[in-house]
Amino acid sequence: MQKAQLAEGLQKAVPGLCLRIDEPMCNHTSFRIGGPADLMILPNSIGELQQALRFLNGQKVPVYIMGNGSNLLVRDGGFRGVIIKLADNFSRIVVEGTKLRAQVGASLAKLASAAWQAGLGGLEFASGIPGTLGGAIAMNAGAYGGEMADVIREVTCCDLEGGLYHFSLEELELGYRTSRVRSQGYVALEALLQLVPEDQAVIKAKMHELNQRRREKQPLNIPSAGSTFKRPPGYYAGKLIDEAGLRGFTHGRAQVSDLHCGFVVNLGGATAKEVLELIDMVRQRVWEKFRVKLELEVQVIGED
């Protein structure tokens, strides 16, 4: 089915659905890199998302679900299929006593701020992580001694056919940078988080401290997708890369950050090809020097 026909079919199946054709993915990733997606849709409700997924499943169209693109590299040829974006359009947060119920497009910064305003502690670790709740659930995101497994109690998900599921914390199978959502291809929709009453000033001070530490150690002012590699068992990726002599190493307009070697950054105008070639060089050098295999944390999609 051609893009125009697919778009027309989607609009008939889901009246009022926000839809874009040939959407440049460089506008939707923190890397500021990526060719166009054939179609992008931005549903505003679980019902809209379910309807869209059912239609796309019937058409056998490739689908990729994204949040705000903070952990995503789209290849230069773009994505042949439909990108479903769940970000600001899917970000409602409701306080329920000592719990937060939130849609997965809510940013972690917004979620942590809502907790602070409600006098609820436990999410301070997440306030500086540049991603959405959905990505954080899928990867069991964590920082500075905290992780999502500490606060999540249940998650509503759907599959790519639009069927709904409700998973308890135990059923989510949260581990290091993994979950049942990620390993089995579910789409997280909404989560219930259990927090604890805390003085607002104490929460604010802790968030400020952690965010200051992050600013000092990470290249937050340069486009990147965060930590490029997962932490190898028994090692730290950034330390291995540094000791391999690659701090500041540049390939085209892509660079191993000279502030934090675990980050590959876009100096301005970098292509996905340059980033991926640099990643391969880094992995090869670390393997040759330390016999440690670096595994990508960044998600890579699309065509060359």
Is 297 annotated as catalytic?
A: yes
Interior/surface letters 254-266, b for 16+ CB within 10 angstroms, e for the rest: bbbbebbbbbbbb
> What is the token pair recorded at 157?
């998900």
User: What's CA 58's distance to the chain center, in Å?
Assistant: 27
Bridge partners, 264 (sequence order): 256
Q: Which among 280, 265, 269 is positioned nearest to 224, based on CA atoms?
A: 265
> What is the token pair recorded at 56?
């796309």
Is 70 annotated as catalytic?
A: no
Contact 128, 141 (CB under 8 A): no
The residue annotated as part of the active site, out of 227, 257, 274, 283, is 227
What is the residue type of 304?
Answer: D
Bridge partners, 255 (sequence order): 250, 265
The residue annotated as part of the active site, out of 177, 231, 247, 285, is 177
In angstroms, rounded to a whole number, what is the distance separating the alpha carbons of residues 36 and 25? Answer: 5
Q: How many CA atoms lie within 13 A of 173 on its CB side?
A: 8
Is 243 annotated as catalytic?
A: no
Q: Are strands 72-74 and 299-301 parallel, antiparallel or unpaired?
A: parallel
Catalytic positions:
177, 227, 297
